[in-house]
């Protein structure tokens, strides 16, 4: 079976002049209080629009106006780890779930539900 990494190598595609990494741009904007507030508001509006369609941990995060990096920093992990959790690609330890609940201002049950583990009723 042919794999993508055997065909495509990032070194084959030159980085265009003037390229700016989105993470670096957002980090720069977050340093300015009025732009940080605007980004937080935009994330919260996005959460409202996505909630009925997407749900999950990303919606809880966006409701708080947080980026993946900000949430990662708040719980002492990395942004890629948060991305994998949001996509359902990483299992979440109880300690991490508790940290997520605290950082997001929600209950552990809400985090559990957002991760797809609804509380079962008897």
Cβ distance 64 to 105 under 8 Å? Answer: yes
CATH assignment at residue 39: 1.10.260.40
Whether residue 76 lies inside any domain: the answer is yes
Residue 60 lies in a domain: yes
Mean pLDDT, residues 26-45: 91
How many domains does the chain fold into? 1
Range of the domain at 62: 21-114
Q: What is the predicted pLDDT for the residue at 118?
A: 74
The overall average pLDDT reported for the chain is 86
Task: Report, as an integer, the average pLDDT of 31-54.
Answer: 86
For residues 2 and 91, the model is more confident at: 91
Does a structural domain hold residue 37? Answer: yes
pLDDT tens per residue, range 96-111: 999 999 999 999 999 9
Looking at the domain assignment, is residue 36 inside a domain?
yes
Say if 119 falls within a structural domain: no
With respect to residue 2, please indicate whether it lies within any of the assigned structural domains. no
Phi, psi of 38 (to 5 degrees): -65, -40
pLDDT in tens, 48-64: 887 666 678 999 999 99
Alpha-helix runs per DSSP H in 1-122 = 4-7, 22-30, 33-50, 56-63, 68-75, 79-86, 94-104, 108-114
Whether 80 maps to a domain, the answer reads yes
pLDDT confidence of 120, banded at 50, 70, 90? low
Euclidean distance between CA atoms 96 and 98, whole angstroms: 5
Spatial distance between the Cα atoms of 89 and 74, rounded to a whole number of angstroms: 20
Residue 14 in any domain: the answer is no
């Amino acid at each position: 079976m042919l794999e993508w990494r055997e065909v495509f190598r990032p070194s084959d595609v030159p980085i265009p002049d003037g390229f700016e990494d989105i993470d670096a741009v957002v980090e720069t904007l977050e340093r300015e209080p009025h732009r940080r507030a605007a980004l937080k508001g935009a994330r919260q509006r996005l959460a409202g629009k996505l909630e009925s369609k997407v749900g999950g941990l990303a919606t809880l995060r966006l409701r708080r106006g947080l980026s993946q990096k900000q949430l990662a920093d708040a719980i002492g992990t990395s942004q890629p780890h948060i991305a994998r959790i949001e996509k359902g690609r990483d299992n979440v330890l109880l300690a991490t779930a508790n940290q997520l609940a605290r950082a997001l201002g929600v209950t552990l049950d809400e985090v559990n539900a957002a991760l797809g583990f609804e509380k079962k009723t008897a």
